[in-house]
Structure formats: C-alpha cells, structure tokens
Structure 1
Amino acid sequence: MSPTGITLAELERRLWEAADKLWANSNLRPSEYSVPVLGLIFLRYADVRFQRAKLQLESQGGSRRREIGKEDYKALGVMYLPEAARWDNLLSLPDGADIGKALNDAMKAIEADNEDLKDVLPKTYNRIQTKLLNSLFRTFNLIPADIEGDAFGRIYEYFMSEFEATVGQKGGEFFTPTSIVKLIVEIIEPFHGKIFDPACGSGGMFVQSAQFVERHKHRPSDEIAVYGQEKTAETVRICRMNLAINGISGDIKQGNSYYENSHSSLGKFDFVMANPPFNVSEIDKERIKDDKRFPYGMPSADNGNYIWIQLFLSALNSSGRAGFVMPNTAADSSNEFEIRKQIVESDVVDCMIEVTSNFFYTVTLPCSLWFFDKQKDESRKGKTLFIDARSIFSQVSRVHREFTPQQTEFLANIVRLYKGKQTENEHGSAELLEVHFGSRSPSKFKNVPGLCYVASLQEISKKNFSLNAGNYVGVKSQTAPTNDYRATISKSASRLDELSREAVQTDKEILAFLKDILSESEK
C-alpha cells in the first residue's frame, strides 16, 4: 500500500492511463513520448531523493562549518537539483504559465549541474499541448513524497516495461524483466570490479548490481564501475536517466556492438551481464570475421546469438564471470555446434538455467540463463551445473510470468550449494530447499531429479555438447511433492510452445542448409 492509501499497482495503473492519454491526444509516436514521460518520473524521483537528503544534511547542521553544497549531496549518492528543477516550484507555477518551457528549463538546469546527464534529458516538452502537459504533470504528483525508493523504482520499471510492449522492441532490447536481472546478479555476485553490458538497454543490470552491493552494506560508487553500450541514442538517454535516478555514475556509449568496440573490451572486465536481442539476422559477418572478440569464428547460420556469446566471453579478464540471457534454441542449435563445442571444452561454462516462456513483455520465447566463470575452483573444474526452472514461476497475468523473491533466492541457493557456499533465507526460500533438498538449510549440493544436475565435460560431449538443462536433470521423482494440476498443465503447455518454436527454428536451419547446397551446385 502506498502512503496515499491506494495500492502500488493501482497507482501504476493511474499513472500509465495518464501517459496513455498523452499519446492518444498528441501527434507523438510511442518512441517519441516515452522519453518525456520517463523524464517526468525521473524528475519526481530525483526531487524525492533530493528533499530527503536535504533534510538529512540540514539535521547535521550543528556539526558543519560551511554551507551545504553539491558535493554533500553527491557524497550521499544523490543528484543535486537546482531551484528551477524542484518539483514544488514547478507545481506552484501560476495558471497560464508555460509549463513546457519551465520543464525544458528545469532539465537544462539539471544537466548544467550534473555532467553525466549532459545532452541526455528530454527538452521537448514545448511540443506537448499545455493542457495535456498540465494534466500529466499533476497526475504524476500523485506519486507521494514519502514513497519508498523500491516502490519508486518499480513505477519506473513498470513504465519502461509498458513502453517496451507499446513500441514492440524485439526480445527485451529495451527492458529486461527485473526478476530475471535479479537472478543473474545474485548468481554473478558483483561485489567489486568493472561491469560491462554491451546491450545495456535501460540499464537494469547496472541498477540491480548497485542494489546488490548496497544490500551487502557497501557504497556502489566505491565498489563497482559500470560500462555500457547501446545502438540507439534514445535508449542510451533512457539508460543514463535510469542510472542517475538510482545515484549511479556510468560510462554509457552509443554504438552497434557487433561492429564498434567502444570500450576496448577485450579481456578488460570482471563481470559481463547482458540480455541481447535474440536471433538477429543479416549481421555483416564479413566485416567482423577477423575481430579478436570472436575467437571461435562466425556461426554458419544467419543468426547473431553466438556472435553475442563470444563477445561476452572475450570481454572477461582472466578471473571474470558472465551471466546473460539467450533463447533456449541457442543451447543445442546444430548450426553452432563447432563454436559451442569449443566453448564447452574451454571449461568456462559454469551453470545453465532453463526458464519457461512468457517472462518477457514482447516475446513468448522460453530462454536460458548462461553463466561463465574463467576461474572455477578445483571442485568445479570440468563440470557444469544444469538447472531446469521451467516449472518455477509466478503467473502474474494471463500472458506474463516472473520469479518471486522466494523463487529467485531458491534458484540462487542451488548455485550457492554447488559452489560450497552458505544458503540465504531472507525471502523464505528455506521452505523450497526443504521440499527439494530435504533440509531448510542444507550444507551440501546434491543432484535432484527434474531440478538440477552437475554434468562432467565427458557427459556433455556424449550429448553432442548440448547445454539444454532438460537433457541432464531427468524427470522429477514421483515420490516428491508435486505441483497442482494447473502448474502441470502450464508446464506442459510451455514445453509444447517451446517445441513448436524449436521446430520452426529447425525448419529455418534446414532451408538455409538447402540453399547452401543449391548455391554450391550452381557454381
């Protein structure tokens, strides 16, 4: 429940209806109005954080011998807001005032005082009718000043996901579902070092990494440095806004990651986390075939998945770890067999998690989470952990699923057990551990039929180097507790959907193979 007395979900719905009204009554395309709307959420959240910091700093006034300045706010991880950009000052503008110009001036003032946001914030509010803009601005005032940071972050994430669905981005290019990001971060554990995302979208991997560091009682600015790259200028701006709203400073550059290595990434990073666009075709492979970022060569299929996978792997330093999202078909695609074989034999694949369909807002494809570790300890050398999480999800709506905090913690705990670490129970995952491992606080990993299995390199080679978890974990024991019939039906439907999509992908590969044969015979 929000401090206004309405639920957070209801608040999100009201705010989205106001934004949707703007689109319906303006001449802006969704891709054009998303940034101004997110800009208002950014401004409201920035003001909430600023006012809290202001009170905190003023309460310490007795111990200070100088005026409070920008650096004091920065030390608290809060962006400084000049007078012209403060929410109450804008809200108190007289009737008839040019709110569009005032908002443009507010954004310019913020940029002038915050170098990271130079030329980033929207300054096109004058293009929106004054009546519509006033209505939108006052609706956004529904967001209470005493709302918690997590709730504000959720509103921002909700809007990004809705824009993702409206604009129809491919494969989560703009926004990666938060529960997926949280699971990747919990397994990668980016406590300290350089983090790289060459398909950073709105910056969710960076935000969750910073929150992970904070949960472990450290300041993100002291522990991590973030580096990102995105193809479109608009998405770069949204990412920078998202970082700023969360008090994160990062080096985010515009560029096409296939062809432009803007961060000189080769062997540079401690962590790589990413959710790249799936199954991209028509990449100019001739242009990048000699690029050292792709040591295993170009895939034979017209598909960019293994170009991305090599890009992630080559960016890691000698002790680096990576976690990223791929469509399930990439785990055992026949066209990329040789590349996958070399990656598996290099013994960097630490863990594979198979996830069911409908986690993304714009695609229903099931996906896999891949985890690389270039410095496995002795107990994990020559081994890979496989987790089949297709039956683990929460049905948020008819078409959308996610991991609950309990489920996220449970899956991360399986990996912790595999690595010989202690499990966590902040979100009640001990209940799931007891169901599957026979103890609320197990001390050792064990293979659980239908859920998890540790395979040797020899076993993986015997299965044609497939990295599909379903090929290893087996079938759930009939004596183990089972889900109700709805979960069983849902899992079966997900598997049918997955097999149908794999069949379509196989058809494409066969057609491509036949075309190659025909072209060879015509020479």
Structure 2
Amino acid sequence: MALKKSDLYSSLWASCDQLRGGMDASQYKDYILTLLFVKYVSDKAKTDPNSLIDVPEGGSFDDMLAAKGDKEIGDRFNKIIAALAEANGLRNVIDQADFNDEEKLGKGKEMQDRLSKLVTIFNDLDFRGSRAEGDDLLGDAYEYLMRHFATDSGKSKGQFYTPAEVSRILAKVVGIGPHTRQDHTVYDPACGSGSLLLKAAAEAPRGMTIYGQEKDNATWALSKMNMILHGNEIAEIEKGDTLTNPQFTRNDQLRTFDFVVMNPPFSVKSWSNGLEHDYGRFEYGRPPEKNGDYAFLLHALKSLNSTGKAAIILPHGVLFRGHAEATIRRNLLQHGFVKGVIGLPANLFYGTGIPACIVVLDKENAPARTGVFMIDASKGFMKDGNKNRLRSQDLHKIVDTFTKQIEIDRYSRMVPLREIADPKNDYNLNIPRYIDSSEPEDLQDLHAHLHGGIPDRDLDALSNYWDAFPQLRGHLFTPNRLGYSDLAIDVSQVQQAILDSTEFQQFTDEARTLTTDWFAAHRDTLAAIDEDTTPNDLIAALGDDLLARFKPIPLLDEYDIYEQLMTYWHEVMHDDVYLLLADGWHAAARPRQTIEDKDRKLSETPDLVVGSGRGATKYKTDLIPPALIVARYFADAQARIDELTAAADEATRAVEEYLEEHAVEDGLLADAMGDDKISKALVAGRLKAIKKGGDPEEIEALQQAIELYNAEATAKKAVKEAQNELDLATLKKYGDLTENDIKTLVLDDKWQATIVHRVVGEVEALTLDLVARIQQLGERYAATVPDLDAELDQLEAKVAEHLAAMGVST
C-alpha cells in the first residue's frame, strides 16, 4: 500500500535532515538531490525502454543499494555516479557532490552508516509510475525538498529557488496557457535550479521549449538535473554570467524568445565587471554601475521577439529610483513596453526579505498601449515559518485580476500613461501613487459624542451587509434624529440577533445549497478517479467552478470560499487522490498497520487500536477515518458507548464529591489519606485495619467509598468493553465495504460534508466582523458628554460627602 504523500514527504525530509549532521543545507541539498536523480532515472529505465537517459551496468541505484554497509561506500557511490555521468555526457553535472568527503559526511563508520541509511530512505520511493502515472510524485517530492532546503539555507544561500506560487503567477501573467504550443520558447537568463522555468513550461498543455543560463556552477548542475528529473532532457541550460557573457547569441546578436521569466539577484553591484559587449541592450539607457536591476530587465527586453512577453521579479526600487534608472523607466513607458506592475508581499523570497514586484513587459501590443495595469497584492499572504507565503486564493486573484484587467477598489486599476507622465508623477511607477490600499479612516463624530446616537454614515459604510440582509438594519437600529440611529437591542444581543434572523439563515442555506449543488455536478468525475486522473487538472476544474458559482453572491468573497476548498485539498484531498491513483478504491480504503521505524525515528499515531496491552494491533486508516464508518454503520453502538461514558463520568464525579466531603482534615476518611491523596487501595487498607473495634461511622464511610470506587470501575470497564467491541466491528466492516460503499464514505461523508461545513463556517465568520463593528460603534457613542458630566457631578458629590464625614470642609 502507498503511503500518503504528506507522510512520504515529511518522513523523507525528517530522515534526510536527521542524517545531515552539521552540514549546511545549501551543501547537503546537492547530496540529496543527486540521490533523487539516480533513483528516478534508474526506476524510469526499468519501465521505459525509450528513456533518453542510459543507465549502464554499475551505474544504477540498485548498485548503490548493494553498497550498503561497505567500508568503501563513499568511493563506490562516486564510481557509480561517474559511470552514469559518463554514459550520458553528464560529467561535471551529476557528479558535483563528493560522497567520499570525510569533512562533510564523517569518517569511517560514521560515513558508512550515514550513506547506508540515506540509500535505504530513497529505496522507499518508487518512480516506476505503475498506477500513479497521472500524479507527479517526483515533482512534488522535489518541490518539497527544495522548499525546505531553501528555508534552511538562509538569505545568503537560498536564491536557487523561486517559490512555486510565485513561479505560477509569472507563467500565467506572461500569457503561457492552454493555447501555448510545444514549440513556443521560454527563457530564464538567471535560472537558478530551474524551478521557475519548469513551472512556466508546465502551464502549457504539452510543455514548451526551454532555455536557461545560470552563473553558479553547482546551481547550474542542479538545474541540468532538474530538467532531466522533470522529463525535459533536451532543455538547453548554459553556464556563465548572462550579463557579461550571454550564451544564447546568433550572428553577434542576442537570440530572441517568445517568453522570458526571471527572478534575478536583486541590486547586483558588480554587474558590469568584465562587460565588453552590450549587444544593444542599453539603447533605452545604461543602468547605474552599482545596481544591476535594470541590466537584467533590459537583457530580458532585448531577448524578446517582436511579439514576446516577459515577467520579471525585481525590488520595488526599479519603480521609483531616479537618475539613470528614471531615464530608462521613462523610455520604456514611452515605447509602451511596460504592460503591468504587480506589488507582492514582503518576505516571500529566500534570498531577501524585502518586498518585490513583478514587472510585465509586452512587445506585441507596445505601440498601442495607453496605460499600465497595476495591482497591489501586498496584503494577501499567510505566515509559513519565518517566511510569508501566497495562499491559493492570492495566486488565483492576482492572475484573474491581471489577465482579465479587472479594476478592484484599493487593489487594482488601469493607470493611464498620461497620468504616469504628468509632471507630478514624472514616470514614477510607485504603486501607492496610483492605488491607495489603506483602510478608510475611522472618523470620530463629535456631535454623536455630545448628543448620542450612531452616525448613519458609519452604518452606511456597512452597505455590503445591508445589501445581503435588507431587513437586518431596520431590526437592529431605530432612528434617533436626522443622520443618527440608536441600537434597538442591547449590544450583547447583537450576534445572536443576526444568527437568528431569517435573512441570515436563508443566506446560510443558500451557501450550503450552492456548495452541495457544486459538489453534485462533479461527483461522477470524482467517483471515476483512477490511474489516468491528473490531480492538478481535477482540482483546477473544481476550484474554477466553485469560484464562478460564488462570484454573484453578495457579501461573500468568492476567493475566501475558494481558499476553503484549496486548504482542504492541500491538507487532505490531495493525499486521498494520490492514494486512489496509486492503489485504487479498495486497496486505498484498507487499514494498514502503523509504521514503527526506530532507525528513522518514524512512529505513526494509530487511528484504530484493536485489542489491548502487548497484544494490541494498531492501524492507520488513511482514506476513511473510523469515525465515518461508525457514524454510518454503528451509530446505535456509538450512542450506547456515549451513554456508558456519561454513566462512567457520573460515577467518577460521585467518587470525587464523596472524597471532597469526607477526605478532609477531621473528616471520616482523614485517616485513609496518604500524602494528602486518597485511593481505593488506601481506603481498603484502612478498612481492613479498623474492621474490628473501629469507629462505626468511619467504617461505614470507608465501605461507602469502596462501593463508589467499585461502581466507577464497573462503569469504566463497561465503556472499555463496548469500545473494544465497536473497534473490532469497525475493523471488520472495512473488509466488507463494496466500492460503492467506499465512494459514498469518501465522496459524501468525508469530502462533501467537510467542504460544506467549511463554507458555512466562512459564512458564519462574516457575522463576527459585523458584530465587532456594531459593538464598537454602540460602545463608542453610548455615553454622551452630558451623561459623563452628570456622572462626574455624582462622583464629586460622593467625594464631598465623604470628606465632610471626616470633618474636612471643601
């Protein structure tokens, strides 16, 4: 049986990290990704006779596995990798990591054990693609490892990786999509490990023709491996400094491409060192000697063909810095090359914590361009460890807004070039000049403070709620005087009044029905999940349809609803779909015994335990949690256990209350206490000691305590026996499930029920913001100045009265 993807990745990372020792993550990744490469090409060669990578005898992962425990394991690994490299023209590409380096891997037994354990970990991965052909296990495993290595590498060494979410945005806003042909070209002049190029090419239905250049030797090798790992063996990835020594030239001119995507190093101070030939890149101005941001941008522009488009990640400074950069910016805008600018949140990238932006260039429509489309997406993100990360809803909203040129208040607008060129702006592209994303100021109303009442303008600002619930405002507020209203109910009752309102209940029911209908429309597709299903296509169809259905609904943000689906997809559904791809419905639903691996420090928490003590058998139920089986098939048995549990809790309370009454100093059970504690054993011991000749009242109290303890034990035993019976019946039921039963449990009881619950929760959460605002306004203007004056007069009178009583005259 396949492990859940999330379990597979987390155990892979935990195991690798455990064996890292003191090595820096930026170095350790070369070892791990080399092993991943050898494992992948070895597995692929076993099933694909047409594989472009030849795995020679003595150059496979199986040869590495055979070296386990060998005293010369490091040297053997190097020779195996060298044989693989030699057979495929990959010398100085896949053999960069030295597996016999004692400084990094330890000496003697330490190296022997570390490498033996590492090769064992990778043996658990199976890339032969038996049933899971529709799912990119390798790509996801690689992405998981790269994100973790980038996180651990720190600012100075994490630039080899562009977060996947940002890569997808660049690909989509630059125009790569369903109509992009396989012979269309995409180029990254600073490609790092190649992750951005691969994400861009993946947006095209049949991939694209890939070109890239990378300056750092180790990262270039990583990129070459990455291309092969992702089935792009023929991608052209060249080595060298793009600015001073570009490799893609023809007849002393830069080669041009359909698309350019790039995340170059920010503000390089030495960009022109060694520059002899500018290839006409600086016709619109020469970048300042101490800042290379525009050098990369102008290289990208020159590398575009006549209809080419580029998306480049750059620091915000390129939008507003003066002098030479201002000249370049003005020329680019006057020629219409800048299609758009997207401001991103701070701390997204691994090489820097500063906020960045995406500059989109477009040569095709440049002469007719009359404006620049701007987006301020700086506030849409989630915290992820010590970095910020774009959520699924942030990515989708940015792409939708940019590609459809949708203007949204405080988020996006098309800025006319005449406004940008106006002398007050002087071709400055700083986003806050054109989009005010700040929240409206919450103004205090002096008249309301003096005379009471809530200003109607504050209530009018909540129009989204009143549009959704037309009668609610009239129910909550009554007119005070012109322009002011009073709360018709106590502030503490506002939330319940909203929840109880017919309109809110109808709104909730509508959201529930909309979600249920959406799921019903896709249920047949979900029920047909098999080895040919492509998970990314599946969730894209589900997500886009959910967005479209909720778009017309007032008050609700369709992207918030979409995020509920995507969060559940990443947390649960993707794992479930992977299991179904790998094993099919029946096998995926079968419980498996938990994994206990002391060497890898991997211990799973069981979902179901049958038996007790050493004879207990522990199971994981990855696809169908036991609670779903119980709820559908054993509801009566569960209800009985709930009753027995309640009885056991009552018996425990009876014991506690009796002890609280009598097990106190001078109480009837005082002599049975030991170190201020009392137990059944102590009570029984005391009873035995005084049974003859003891105080009758104490004996009776001890006997009563024993009876209560026995009743508690009997009640708890009944719960345990009933639970054991239910667990056994539940385990047996898994084996009796038909495929239709499994689909009902997974599709209806698990996926649909959870998503509907999450959407309804999003609806109910809306009330919290409304309630908080109404409470704030109600409390703000509850006490008028005359009220405060009267209260002050009362307090002064009380003080004077107290002083007079003490004989102090005022």
Deviations 1:304-348 (A, max 9, x none): 111111111111111111011001222112242111111111101
What amino acid does structure 1 have at the position aligned with 2:265? Answer: P
What amino acid does structure 2 have at the position aligned with 1:4? Answer: L
Give the whole-Å Cα distance in 1 for the aligned partners of 2:312 and 2:301: 10
Give the whole-Å Cα distance in 1 for the aligned partners of 2:275 and 2:223: 28
Question: Deviation at 1:294?
Answer: 2.0
Give the whole-Å Cα distance in 1 for the aligned partners of 2:293 and 2:31: 33
What amino acid does structure 1 have at the position aligned with 2:118? Answer: L
Matched position secondary structure for 2:291 = coil
Q: Is 2:285 the partner of 1:297?
A: yes
Aligned length: 423
What amino acid does structure 1 have at the position aligned with 2:225? Answer: M
**Which of these residues, 192, 195, 199, is aligned with residue 204 of structure 1?**
195
Q: Is 2:242 the partner of 1:257?
A: yes
Q: Is the 8 A contact 2:314 2:356 kept in 1?
A: yes
Other-structure match for 1:152? 138
TM-score of the aligned structures, taking structure 1 as reference length: 0.73
What amino acid does structure 2 have at the position aligned with 1:354? Answer: G
What percentage of aligned pairs have identical amino acids? 25
TM-score of the aligned structures, taking structure 2 as reference length: 0.48
Question: Deviation at 1:86?
Answer: 3.9
Gaps of 5+ in 2: 106-110, 441-460, 465-554, 561-764, 770-810
Question: Deviation at 1:194?
Answer: 2.2
Give the whole-Å Cα distance in 1 for the aligned partners of 2:116 and 2:330: 59
Other-structure match for 2:313? 325
Other-structure match for 1:455? 415
Give the whole-Å Cα distance in 2 for the aligned partners of 1:110 and 1:44: 12
Give the whole-Å Cα distance in 1 for the aligned partners of 2:69 and 2:343: 56
Deviations 1:364-385 (A, max 9, x none): 211101111100288x622221
Other-structure match for 2:519? none
Q: Which structure's relative contact order is higher, taking Cα pairs within 8 Å and 6+ residues apart?
A: 1
Q: How does 1:397-476 map to 2 (within 5 A)?
A: 397-418=384-405, 446-462=406-422, 463-475=425-437
Question: Deviation at 1:17?
Answer: 3.8
Distance of aligned partners of 1:282 and 1:166 in 2 relative to their CA distance in 1, 3 Å threshold: same
Matched position secondary structure for 2:82 = helix
Matched position secondary structure for 1:207 = helix
Deviations 1:236-276 (A, max 9, x none): 10000111100112221221122112212635121111100
Other-structure match for 1:3? 2
What amino acid does structure 1 have at the position aligned with 2:362? Answer: D
Q: Is 2:81 the partner of 1:107?
A: yes
Give the whole-Å Cα distance in 2 for the aligned partners of 1:106 and 1:451: 55
Moved more, 139-148 or 150-159: 139-148
Q: Is the 8 A contact 2:259 2:308 kept in 1?
A: yes
Matched position secondary structure for 1:108 = helix
Question: Deviation at 1:178?
Answer: 0.8
**Which of these residues, 4, 12, 15, is aligned with residue 15 of structure 1?**
12
Distance of aligned partners of 1:352 and 1:456 in 2 relative to their CA distance in 1, 3 Å threshold: same
Question: Deviation at 1:185?
Answer: 0.7
Distance of aligned partners of 1:172 and 1:292 in 2 relative to their CA distance in 1, 3 Å threshold: farther
Give the whole-Å Cα distance in 2 for the aligned partners of 1:94 and 1:136: 10
Moved more, 191-200 or 90-99: 90-99
Give the whole-Å Cα distance in 2 for the aligned partners of 1:112 and 1:301: 42
Distance of aligned partners of 1:44 and 1:161 in 2 relative to their CA distance in 1, 3 Å threshold: same
Give the whole-Å Cα distance in 2 for the aligned partners of 1:403 and 1:150: 22
Distance of aligned partners of 1:245 and 1:338 in 2 relative to their CA distance in 1, 3 Å threshold: same
Question: Deviation at 1:14?
Answer: 3.5
**Which of these residues, 10, 33, 41, is aligned with residue 38 of structure 1?**
33
Matched position secondary structure for 1:226 = strand
Matched position secondary structure for 1:334 = coil
Distance of aligned partners of 1:391 and 1:305 in 2 relative to their CA distance in 1, 3 Å threshold: same
**Which of these residues, 365, 385, 405, is aligned with residue 373 of structure 2?**
385
Other-structure match for 1:355? 344
Distance of aligned partners of 1:170 and 1:308 in 2 relative to their CA distance in 1, 3 Å threshold: farther
Q: Is 2:94 the partner of 1:121?
A: yes
Give the whole-Å Cα distance in 2 for the aligned partners of 1:256 and 1:290: 13
Give the whole-Å Cα distance in 2 for the aligned partners of 1:45 and 1:104: 17
What amino acid does structure 1 have at the position aligned with 2:421? Answer: S
Deviations 1:155-197 (A, max 9, x none): 3223333333444454853111111001111122342422221
Distance of aligned partners of 1:22 and 1:456 in 2 relative to their CA distance in 1, 3 Å threshold: same
What amino acid does structure 2 have at the position aligned with 1:24? Answer: G
Gaps of 5+ in 1: 55-68, 419-445, 489-523
Matched position secondary structure for 2:143 = helix
Distance of aligned partners of 1:317 and 1:171 in 2 relative to their CA distance in 1, 3 Å threshold: farther
Give the whole-Å Cα distance in 2 for the aligned partners of 1:298 and 1:387: 28
**Which of these residues, 340, 346, 353, is aligned with residue 364 of structure 1?**
353
Q: Is the 8 A contact 1:198 1:257 kept in 2?
A: yes
Q: Is the 8 A contact 2:342 2:374 kept in 1?
A: yes
Other-structure match for 1:131? 113
Question: Deviation at 1:458?
Answer: 0.7
Q: How does 1:485-500 map to 2 (within 5 A)?
A: none
Matched position secondary structure for 1:126 = coil
Q: Is the 8 A contact 1:172 1:275 kept in 2?
A: no
Give the whole-Å Cα distance in 1 for the aligned partners of 2:194 and 2:12: 22
Distance of aligned partners of 1:172 and 1:381 in 2 relative to their CA distance in 1, 3 Å threshold: farther
What amino acid does structure 2 have at the position aligned with 1:268? Answer: T
Give the whole-Å Cα distance in 1 for the aligned partners of 2:227 and 2:30: 14
What amino acid does structure 2 have at the position aligned with 1:305? Answer: D
Q: Is the 8 A contact 2:20 2:28 kept in 1?
A: yes
**Which of these residues, 311, 327, 335, is aligned with residue 299 of structure 2?**
311
Give the whole-Å Cα distance in 2 for the aligned partners of 1:240 and 1:392: 34
Distance of aligned partners of 1:285 and 1:110 in 2 relative to their CA distance in 1, 3 Å threshold: closer
Structure having the higher helix fraction is 2
Other-structure match for 2:222? 238
Q: Is the 8 A contact 2:410 2:435 kept in 1?
A: yes
Give the whole-Å Cα distance in 1 for the aligned partners of 2:270 and 2:197: 29
Distance of aligned partners of 1:469 and 1:142 in 2 relative to their CA distance in 1, 3 Å threshold: farther
Question: Deviation at 1:208?
Answer: 1.2
**Which of these residues, 227, 237, 261, is aligned with residue 211 of structure 2?**
227
- Alpha carbon RMSD of aligned pairs, Å? 3.1
Deviations 1:419-475 (A, max 9, x none): xxxxxxxxxxxxxxxxxxxxxxxxxxx421111111121111122212233322334
Distance of aligned partners of 1:97 and 1:270 in 2 relative to their CA distance in 1, 3 Å threshold: same
Question: Deviation at 1:280?
Answer: 1.5
Q: Is the 8 A contact 1:285 1:298 kept in 2?
A: no
Q: Is the 8 A contact 1:230 1:253 kept in 2?
A: yes
Moved more, 458-467 or 194-203: 458-467
Q: Is the 8 A contact 2:64 2:119 kept in 1?
A: no
Give the whole-Å Cα distance in 2 for the aligned partners of 1:294 and 1:168: 34
Q: Is 2:176 the partner of 1:184?
A: no
Other-structure match for 1:73? 51
What amino acid does structure 2 have at the position aligned with 1:343? Answer: L
Give the whole-Å Cα distance in 1 for the aligned partners of 2:237 and 2:215: 11
What amino acid does structure 1 have at the position aligned with 2:219? Answer: T
